[in-house]
């Protein structure tokens, strides 16, 4: 998308659509008033007639009016008083939905909504992300019959927010790619496909990329990983990408679970909605999407991105409930449920990558537990960490980006739920606190590392039937967090 900043009167800006606001009392913003004055009261007449009342997110699209340079005017309600996170989201989504399919240039003035909490740069970033989301279409296996018209240029009326617009565009590109990967059918998006995509991006961006295949990991002693991957004809992979933007500093690490299809293994899932288990690699997709954003922006930070990928299938050589395996760390695990496979592939990837790179921080993201989705639904991802500073950074990044997380407990008392008579630990706890016991399991492989776990089981995809879609989360969270680290 092409960006520019305009500091003149809104009625003078040339655009295919001009966006201005009014509040719930009917009071026009400065730009809306300028448009109204130039059009001899056309805007105020629409308000007086009750065509729009200013409720948050409500819109009214008007045709060209004499005295206004723009071809259309979109009136947007801003509600009453200072915007909250919820109303701000409604407003930008409404604007994006209205203008995304208007071909050409969009000019937007949201300055009346800016506040200390939500400055103009924030509004600009959220608007661009919302336009990316509104324009997103999955076409890899179902091409559009004809290309839909779309806005391809944005003029921001107000402060110079060029940096925010550029960052938002890069985040939007990364999020859309993560959506593509998540939506891809599992017969195409295999561990090998993810490795090839990582190598392609690395070649384009100048990252280093190392792919460990299943046989190599088996020889290394990654018994937990192999216990999952061995049941499929698709060989598992651990993929490590490295971006160096800050000299010799220790890197920040991001890790994603990439189970490209999860049947549950021998602990077979029910058949209904099993197709949704192609989304069990959305953690990996978000890591790739984040690295695409990093490739666009080239921030001053060192990043190691890790993807641990396999299929979980119920073959004759698949792991059985009751099996005991030895992880790369040397700890043993009793596999009580083969459907708790995400933590098994993650633990060996964490051991491998933390041992190799000694990161400053490590954040893993995974569609790990239905228990987390039961607790938080589709709104917040679950955040687990004992590091208070890291928790604050991730919570702040989630609030700013709108890709929110909610902190859940990770206390020592929960560790006993993983006790086993036959191994150092079991791979599941009891029927309660399943999201926390899963995080407890991973914590045993991240000791002496500033580490956080983000369970994205709820927010990673949404909808049902023909509305089913990957969300691209948590790309906005991760990119905001890493860019804050860089700044």
CA–CA separation, 277 vs 260, rounded Å? 8
CA–CA separation, 436 vs 413, rounded Å? 11
Catalytic residue status for 269? yes
Handedness of CA 6, 12, 18, 20 (dihedral sign): positive
Name, in order, each residue with C-beta under 8 angstroms of 91's C-beta and a sequence gap of 6 or more.
21, 56, 57, 76, 77, 78, 79, 83, 110, 113
Q: What is the 3-class SS of 210-278, one letter each residue? A: EEEEHHHHHHHCCHHHHHHHCCCCCCCEEEEEEEECCCCCCCEEEEEEEEEEECCCCCCCCCCCHHHHH
Q: Where are the alpha helices (DSSP H) in 42-156?
A: 42-48, 85-99, 120-135
Q: Residues 366, 455: contact at Cβ < 8 Å?
A: yes
Q: Residues 320, 327: contact at Cβ < 8 Å?
A: no
Q: Residues 23, 47: contact at Cβ < 8 Å?
A: no
> Could you tell me whether strands 469-470 and 461-462 are parallel, antiparallel, or unpaired per DSSP bridges?
antiparallel
CA–CA separation, 231 vs 311, rounded Å? 8
User: For residue 267, which of 324, 340, 367 has the smallest C-alpha distance?
Assistant: 340
Active-site entry in 269, 407, 450, 468: 269
Helix, strand, coil abundance in the chain, percent, nearest 5: 40, 20, 40
Burial of 384 (0-12, 13-18, 19+ CB in 10 A): buried
CA–CA separation, 196 vs 288, rounded Å? 11
In this structure, how many other beta carbons lie within 10 angstroms of the beta carbon of residue 185? 12
Q: What are phi and psi of 39, to 5 degrees?
A: -105, 15
Q: Alpha carbon of 165 to those of 3, 126, 281: distances in Å? A: 7, 9, 29
Active-site entry in 44, 257, 278, 343: 343
Q: Residues 28, 11: contact at Cβ < 8 Å?
A: no
Known catalytic residues are 269, 343
């Amino acid at each position: 998308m092409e960006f520019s900043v305009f500091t003149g009167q809104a009625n003078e800006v040339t655009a295919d659509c001009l966006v201005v606001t009014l509040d719930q009392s009917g009071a026009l913003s400065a730009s809306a008033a300028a448009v109204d004055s130039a059009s001899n009261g056309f805007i105020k007449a629409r308000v007086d007639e009750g065509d729009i009342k200013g409720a948050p997110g409500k819109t009214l699209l008007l045709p060209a009016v004499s005295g206004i340079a723009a071809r259309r005017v979109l009136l947007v309600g801003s509600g009453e008083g200072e915007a909250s996170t919820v109303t701000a989201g409604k407003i930008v989504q409404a604007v994006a939905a209205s203008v995304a399919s208007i071909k050409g240039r969009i000019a937007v003035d949201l300055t009346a909504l800016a506040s200390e909490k939500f400055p103009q740069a924030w509004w600009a970033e959220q608007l661009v992300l919302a336009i990316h989301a509104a324009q997103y279409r999955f076409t890899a296996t179902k091409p559009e019959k004809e290309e839909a018209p779309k806005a391809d240029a944005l003029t921001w009326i107000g402060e110079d927010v060029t940096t925010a617009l550029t960052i938002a565009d890069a985040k939007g590109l990364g999020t859309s790619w993560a959506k593509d990967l998540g939506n891809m059918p599992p017969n195409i998006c295999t561990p090998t496909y993810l490795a090839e995509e990582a190598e392609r991006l690395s070649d384009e961006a100048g990252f280093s990329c190392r792919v460990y295949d299943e046989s190599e990991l088996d020889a290394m002693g990654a018994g937990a990983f192999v216990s999952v991957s061995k049941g499929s004809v698709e060989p598992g992979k651990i993929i490590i990408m490295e971006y160096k933007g800050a000299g010799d500093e220790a890197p920040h690490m991001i890790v994603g679970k990439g189970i490209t299809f999860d049947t549950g293994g021998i602990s077979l899932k029910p058949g209904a909605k099993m197709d949704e288990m192609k989304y069990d690699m959305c953690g990996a997709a978000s890591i790739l999407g984040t690295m695409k954003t990093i490739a666009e922006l080239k921030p001053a930070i060192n990043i190691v991105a890790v993807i641990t990928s396999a299929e979980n299938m119920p073959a004759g050589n698949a792991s059985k409930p009751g099996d005991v395996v030895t992880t790369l760390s040397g700890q043993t695990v009793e596999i009580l449920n083969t459907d708790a496979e995400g933590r098994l592939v993650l633990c060996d990837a964490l051991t491998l990558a933390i041992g190799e790179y000694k990161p400053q921080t490590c954040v893993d993201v995974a569609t790990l537990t239905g228990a987390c989705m039961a607790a938080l639904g589709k709104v917040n991802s679950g955040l687990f960490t004992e590091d208070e500073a890291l928790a604050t950074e991730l919570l702040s990044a989630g609030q700013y980006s709108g890709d929110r997380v909610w902190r859940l407990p990770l206390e020592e008392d929960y560790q006993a739920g993983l006790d086993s008579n036959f191994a150092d630990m079991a791979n599941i706890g009891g029927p309660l606190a399943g999201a926390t016991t899963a995080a407890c399991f991973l914590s045993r492989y991240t000791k002496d590392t500033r580490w956080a776990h983000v369970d994205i089981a709820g927010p990673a995809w949404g909808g049902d039937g023909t509305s089913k879609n990957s969300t691209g989360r948590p790309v906005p969270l991760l990119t905001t967090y890493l860019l804050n680290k860089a700044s």
